[in-house]
């Protein structure tokens, strides 16, 4: 048996979460593309149409979950790719901090945008 060619820690949870978010994203990303390019056409997008969708709690909560899982999956994937390429030591810590802050910013900005459409959490 050769070495384990992986950047995931043996017994760690990052591998599991990468796969769980992947299973969710496969469905939701396909739905997102289908809804916004085939059922609705990109050139017909208006604030009012986005607002009408975001004012439904089901759609709003699905998009927030989509934002969080996509950000985690993407950033965790980048981090693991870099670790896989030999990133270590203080550079690894710095990259982890930058990616963590970047993720937080994109999630905050995404939630603010969703709230701008919905005018508040649509409960």
Partner 1 sequence: MSQSYNRGLIEDFSRWREFSAGMWAWIFHKFTGWVLVGYLFTHIAVLSTALSGAAAYTNTIQALESLLVVRILEVGLLAVAVFHILNGVRLLFVDLGVGLEAQDKSFYASLILTGVIVVASIPTFLSGVSI
Footprint on this chain of partner 1 (rule: CB under 8 A): 3-5, 7-9, 12, 19, 22-23, 25-26, 29-30, 33, 37-38, 41-43, 45-48, 50-51, 67, 70-71, 74-75, 77-78, 81, 83-88, 102, 106, 109-110, 112-113, 116-117
57-84 vs 14-33: helix crossing angle, rounded to 10: 130
CB atoms under 10 Å from CB of 60, counted, come to 20
- Closest distance to partner 1 from the beta carbon of 58 (Å): 19
Q: What DSSP character marks residue 19? A: H
Q: Which is nearer to partner 1, 11 or 123 (CB)?
A: 11
Using DSSP, state whether 58 is helix, strand or coil: helix
């Amino acid at each position: 048996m050769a070495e384990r060619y992986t950047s995931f820690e043996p017994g760690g949870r990052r591998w599991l979460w990468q796969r769980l978010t992947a299973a969710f994203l496969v469905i939701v990303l396909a739905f997102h593309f289908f809804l916004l390019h085939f059922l609705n056409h990109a050139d017909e997008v208006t604030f009012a149409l986005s607002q009408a969708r975001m004012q439904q709690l089901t759609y709003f909560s699905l998009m927030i979950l989509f934002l969080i899982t996509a950000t985690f999956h993407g950033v965790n994937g980048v981090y693991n790719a870099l670790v896989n390429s030999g990133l270590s030591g203080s550079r690894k810590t710095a990259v982890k901090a930058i990616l963590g802050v970047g993720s937080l910013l994109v999630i905050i900005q995404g939630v603010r945008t969703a709230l701008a459409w919905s005018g508040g959490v649509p409960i």
